[in-house]
Every structure is written in structure tokens, then in C-alpha cells.
């Protein structure tokens, strides 16, 4: 399985900019996306699709950055995308799913419940029903019973392809998950928003205070978020030679992943 790294959304922050790190898996049974970033409809109608939160995260919304455009530039059709596995349903992760109406969308059952029945002000702001109003085929998963490199709650999604593993990592949202994929010569662990800046898992790097504030403000369960970050940091300290750890928004981790792919 070949794994490509795509940036499907840029968001400026002081002195830097964030990416929306999306994985494109080329499998024997078609294309699979891990997360989807922003989509074409988000670029065309940001107020309708993204709501007031867009004023806080200020995405650039360049159609050329969407997964749909990048996949077509690679010579594929959007119909070639059969599955999309999302780490969670935040608006900067599921905006692109509408560009692949034939794809089945996979997430944890807890996350889908949270998106469909938001309980808090934070959940009402972050989940944007219009982004999945096209009615995608949705498959929910309970990642329990299997383990993956020390994470107790994992589930291999063999119906998609061998080597695609959904790992429960709640905290940022109620049903947030990480997704590990077997790229042949390496595994890529996409941690979504389990951490926003690499400083959370790298002993040698500190997290800018602005990123720490944002991460805390967006967390549904801060203690769980920190516990999971410590577990990811422990895994990184093990320095498994065949493992690349990335997240959704850290540009440096994205650039390193592109360079090592
Ligand atoms: Zn995000």
C-alpha cells in the first residue's frame, strides 16, 4: 500500500501556519483517505459551511489544496476514492468528504453520536451538519479488543484493506481516534488532533503557548488528552525504526513525512 501525504488546508497562526495533513492510501481496492481537510464547498461557501469558527481558525480555503483537486492532479478520478477514515468530525477534518459522495465514511461510533447529537456549546460550534448533508454511507466502529503498539483499544479495518487500524484516542473530542497505516516499508501513525504541536510528544521541543491555549480550549476532556499525549510520547521515545508519527496540523511533522515517504 502506497501512502502519500497531502496538505488539504492551510491555517495561519502567529509566525507559522498549520496544515491539514491528509493521507492518501493507494490500495489494491482503490483509494482511501485518512481525514479529508477542507472541501470545494467549504472554499465556495465558507460562511454557510464553516460558521463563525472560521473567524478564529481563518483557513486559506484554496480549491487547489482540496483532496479532490490533488487527487485529480495525480491522474485519478474522485470516484476512485472508496473509503474515508476520519479521526473525528471537526469541520477542518470532514469538509472534503462531500467531494467523494461515493465513498464510505468510517469513524468511531462515539464520534458519530457526538457529531449527530452535540451536547455542549463547543460541540455545537465544531460540528457542521452541512458538511455531511449529502448523506454519505457511514460505518461506525468500536475500537476495542485488539491492541496496536501499546494502545489497548484498536481495530483493524480489514474491510477497507489490511494494515488500516483505527485506535481510540479520545480527549480532543468524545470519539477522537488515531489511524495507523502500513506503508510497506514503514507504518504511519496519524494522530489527528490528539496533539496539535510536536512539542507535546518531543522532549526536545517546546510547544508555543498560543498552541497550548488553543488545544486546551478545544479539548472535550483535558486530562484524557494529556494522558494520551504521554502515551504517544512514550511510543516516540521507543524510536521504532519503522514508525513515523504525524498529526493533523503540525507543518514540520508534515514536511518530515513528505521527505521520508
Ligand atoms: Zn483539527
Domain that holds residue 254: 2-260
CA of 212 to the centre of ligand 1 (A): 14
CA of 93 to the centre of ligand 1 (A): 6
- Measured CA to CA, the distance from residue 60 to residue 42 in angstroms comes to 11
CA of 249 to the centre of ligand 1 (A): 7
CA of 36 to the centre of ligand 1 (A): 11
CA of 209 to the centre of ligand 1 (A): 17
Q: What is the pLDDT of residue 33?
A: 98
* Residues of the chain below pLDDT 70: none
CA of 128 to the centre of ligand 1 (A): 13
Cβ proximity of 60 and 81 under 8 Å = no
pLDDT tens readout for residues 143-196: 888 899 999 999 999 999 999 999 999 999 999 999 999 999 999 999 999 999
CA of 57 to the centre of ligand 1 (A): 10
CA of 97 to the centre of ligand 1 (A): 15
Q: What is the CATH classification number for the domain harbouring 161?
A: 3.60.15.10
Q: What is the pLDDT of residue 165?
A: 97
CA of 193 to the centre of ligand 1 (A): 5
Q: What is the pLDDT of residue 144?
A: 86
- Tally Cβ neighbours within 10 Å of residue 199: 17
Q: Is the dihedral of CA 162, 168, 173, 175 positive or negative?
A: positive
CA of 60 to the centre of ligand 1 (A): 14
CA of 54 to the centre of ligand 1 (A): 12
- Tally Cβ neighbours within 10 Å of residue 205: 12
Number of domains the chain contains: 1
Pairing of strands 146-148, 2-13: unpaired
- Measured CA to CA, the distance from residue 184 to residue 28 in angstroms comes to 13
DSSP string, 21-58: EEEEEEETTEEEEE---S-HHHHH-HHHHHGGGHHHH-
Amino acid at each position: 500500500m502506497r501512502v502519500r501525504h497531502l496538505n488539504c488546508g492551510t491555517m495561519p497562526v502567529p509566525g507559522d501556519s498549520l496544515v491539514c495533513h491528509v493521507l492518501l492510501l493507494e490500495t489494491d481496492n482503490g483509494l482511501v483517505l485518512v481525514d479529508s481537510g477542507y472541501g470545494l464547498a467549504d472554499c465556495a461557501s465558507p460562511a454557510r459551511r464553516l460558521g463563525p469558527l472560521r473567524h478564529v481558525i481563518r483557513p486559506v480555503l484554496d480549491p487547489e489544496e482540496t483532496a479532490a483537486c490533488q487527487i485529480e492532479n495525480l491522474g485519478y478520478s474522485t470516484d476512485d476514492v472508496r473509503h474515508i477514515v476520519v479521526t473525528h468530525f471537526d469541520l477542518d477534518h470532514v469538509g472534503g468528504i462531500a467531494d467523494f459522495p461515493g465513498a464510505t465514511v468510517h469513524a468511531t461510533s462515539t464520534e458519530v453520536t457526538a457529531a449527530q447529537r452535540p451536547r455542549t456549546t463547543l460541540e455545537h460550534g465544531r460540528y457542521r451538519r452541512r458538511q455531511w448533508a449529502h448523506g454519505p454511507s457511514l460505518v461506525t466502529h468500536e475500537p476495542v479488543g485488539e491492541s496496536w503498539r501499546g494502545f489497548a483499544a484498536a481495530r483493524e479495518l480489514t474491510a477497507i484493506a489490511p494494515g488500516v487500524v483505527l485506535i481510540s484516542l479520545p480527549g480532543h473530542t468524545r470519539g477522537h481516534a488515531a489511524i495507523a497505516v502500513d506503508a510497506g516499508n514503514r507504518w504511519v501513525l496519524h494522530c489527528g488532533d490528539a496533539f496539535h504541536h510536536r512539542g507535546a510528544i518531543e522532549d526536545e521541543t517546546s510547544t508555543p503557548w498560543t498552541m497550548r491555549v488553543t488545544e486546551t480550549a478545544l479539548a472535550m476532556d483535558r486530562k484524557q488528552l494529556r494522558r494520551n499525549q504521554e502515551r504517544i510520547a512514550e511510543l516516540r521515545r521507543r524510536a521504532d525504526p519503522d514508525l513515523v508519527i504525524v498529526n493533523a496540523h503540525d507543518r514540520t511533522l508534515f514536511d518530515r513525512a513528505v521527505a521520508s515517504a
